[in-house]
């Protein structure tokens, strides 16, 4: 079953071969019980994809074991009330379009405007714009397209703040890659001018860049963006991407970046609820994030990653200071999302 909170994939995932380690635990890591945390307290995960309360129960069971409290999620509008009833007070909802209607661009945009109103009526105040290269190609639209601009302006008038997925891992760009120029895709660096135009257009609204703003492999440019746009914040979601991007560069430099920008980075996992996933799959992502941010672990990652150099994914922990972890795990979400987007009292 595909997840209706996500845009259609570019390609199906390869099946696990019989007798091979599961892709969520290639090294035999122990996910139960969860490792002891470096700091106590509940964590706010600001980037997930959920739907179907029954399927979400195993996700919540793993979340409880890994000290995940508040969860911001991208779920179809139709699943908002069922999820609220099944898990009272657990979820906040990020407005998204109905990706299944994307085969008809006019219907897609028309329905998106309607869903904006529907999500708003249910208390949502954050809207996600997914504009990775594959999504651009399927939609035939970038963030600069007049129809997308109309959706943005509608959201702005209602009072929404913004979230975006721009770019994708650098490993996916180039000749013989997923995003090849021969297939009509722009280069990695060409993905971001449209984001900066959006940031300039709505300076009075918070804008959260998913997956470290799509730019963890380009820290200099990401730093300039953060310095230039004080309303821009980023989340740490997309586990394989974060693990690979950190391990492939100077880890000390990445750690310094997190410390320098400790007030602007929010914790996210990008976990997706689905019938093909079990407890260990969900736990593997939070386990890996825990090693990545809280420890100086240096070894193989438990999660299979075909984009890893040599095919062997390496995990190198940043061992962030406790005061930085406190901000990453909850204080920044309380300040930016609960305090300014929802205008609620701080929550844990």
Cβ burial, residue 88 (10 Å; 0-12/13-18/19+) = exposed
State the pLDDT at residue 77: 98
Q: Are the C-beta atoms of 27 and 288 separated by less than 8 Å?
A: no
Residue 13 has pLDDT above 60, yes or no: no
State the pLDDT at residue 11: 46
Single pTM value for the model:
0.95
CB neighbours (10 Å) of residue 217?
19
Residue 15 has pLDDT above 50, yes or no: no
Distance CA(187)–CA(190), nearest Å, equals 5
State the pLDDT at residue 1: 62
Residue of 76, 82, 88 lying closest to 3 (CA atoms): 76
Which tens digits make up the pLDDT trace of 143-174? 999 999 999 999 999 999 999 999 999 999 99
Distance CA(293)–CA(329), nearest Å, equals 10
Residue 19 has pLDDT above 80, yes or no: no
Phi and psi dihedrals of 97, rounded to 5?
-80, 175
Q: CA-based angle 148:152:158, to the nearest 5?
A: 145
Which tens digits make up the pLDDT trace of 78-128? 999 999 999 999 999 999 999 988 788 899 999 999 999 999 999 999 999
State the pLDDT at residue 28: 96
Mean pLDDT score of the chain: 94
The answer to which of 144-153, 175-184, 230-239 has the lowest mean pLDDT is: 175-184
CB neighbours (10 Å) of residue 278?
13
State the pLDDT at residue 8: 81
As a whole number, mean pLDDT of residues 245-273 equals: 98
Pick the CATH number of 43-341 from 3.40.640.10, 3.20.20.140, 3.90.45.10, 3.90.230.10: 3.20.20.140
Kindly list the domain boundaries of the chain, sorted by start residue. Answer: 43-341
Output the six-digit token pair for 275. 């019938």
Residue 210 has pLDDT above 70, yes or no: yes
Residue position matching structure tokens 């809280």: 294
State the pLDDT at residue 14: 43
State the pLDDT at residue 129: 98
As a whole number, mean pLDDT of residues 201-225 equals: 98
As a whole number, mean pLDDT of residues 224-245 equals: 98
């Amino acid at each position: 079953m595909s997840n209706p909170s996500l845009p259609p994939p570019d390609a199906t995932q390869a099946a696990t071969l019989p007798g091979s380690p599961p892709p969520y635990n290639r090294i035999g890591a122990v996910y139960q019980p969860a490792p002891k945390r470096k700091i106590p307290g509940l964590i706010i995960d600001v980037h997930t994809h959920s739907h179907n309360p029954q399927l979400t129960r195993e996700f919540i069971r793993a979340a409880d074991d890994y000290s995940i409290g508040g969860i911001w999620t991208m779920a179809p509008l139709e699943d908002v009330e069922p999820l609220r009833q099944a898990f009272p007070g657990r979820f906040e909802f990020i407005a998204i379009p109905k990706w299944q209607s994307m085969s008809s661009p006019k219907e897609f945009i028309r329905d998106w405007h309607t869903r904006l109103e529907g999500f708003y009526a249910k208390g949502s105040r954050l809207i996600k714009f997914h504009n990775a290269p594959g999504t651009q190609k399927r939609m035939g639209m970038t963030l600069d397209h007049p129809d997308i601009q109309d959706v943005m302006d509608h959201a702005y008038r209602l009072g929404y703040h913004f979230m975006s997925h721009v770019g994708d891992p650098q490993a996916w760009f180039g000749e013989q890659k997923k995003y090849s120029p021969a297939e009509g895709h722009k280069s990695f660096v060409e993905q971001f001018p449209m984001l900066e135009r959006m940031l300039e257009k709505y300076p009075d609204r918070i804008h959260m860049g998913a997956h470290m703003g799509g730019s963890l492999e380009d820290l200099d440019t990401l730093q300039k963006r953060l310095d230039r746009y004080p309303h821009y914040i980023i989340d740490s979601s997309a586990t394989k991407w974060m693990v690979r991007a950190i391990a492939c560069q100077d880890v000390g430099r990445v750690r310094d970046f997190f410390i320098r920008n400790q007030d602007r980075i929010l914790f996210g996992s990008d976990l997706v609820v689905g019938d093909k996933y079990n407890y260990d799959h969900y736990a593997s992502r939070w386990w890996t994030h825990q090693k990545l941010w809280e420890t100086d672990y240096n070894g193989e990652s438990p999660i299979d990653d075909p984009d890893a150099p040599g095919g062997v994914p390496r995990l190198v922990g940043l061992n962030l200071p406790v005061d930085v972890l406190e901000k990453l795990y909850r204080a920044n979400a309380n300040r930016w999302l609960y305090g300014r987007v929802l205008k609620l009292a701080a929550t844990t």
